[in-house]
Amino acid sequence: MKILMVCLGNICRSPLAEGVMQHLADEAGLDWQIDSAGTGNWHVGEGPHHGSVRTAKAHGIDISGQVCRLFRVSDFDEFDRIYVMDKSNRTNILNMARNTEDTQKVKLLLGDAEVPDPYYTNLFEEAYGLIEDGCRKIIGEYQK
């Protein structure tokens, strides 16, 4: 399974989601490959936000080596599932979809709820908790 996590800048939420999902998948013995991307190009080539790095590290997850990148149309071909952090991310990605198969891959990580952007609130631990809950639920669904 190949999963892509997407947020706005690929520096706060999606790097956390990539790290959390990969960590949980590895713990569960699942052969999953997780990546992340952003819908905006402000931080391409940079590492994750220090708040995300610090929060992940506090939970035993190292995301410091990640490099921010922009979502691209070819990601629809490369990934089985694309999880977005909020409805704005979903709209941006769906606007790039080429067909129904592409659109069916795109889901909100939390179902109908959103993961608030800690870039503006500095609530990285809260974002982590929501992301971990969403990732655990997804892994649980695949382990049934």
Residues belonging to the active site: 7, 13, 117
Residue 88's contacts (CB-CB under 8 Å, 6 or more residues apart) are 8, 39
Closest CA to 53 of 66, 41, 43, 44: 66
Helices (H) and strands (E) in the chain, counts: 7, 4
Handedness of CA 24, 26, 29, 30 (dihedral sign): positive
Distance in angstroms (rounded) separating the CA atoms of residues 26 and 11: 22
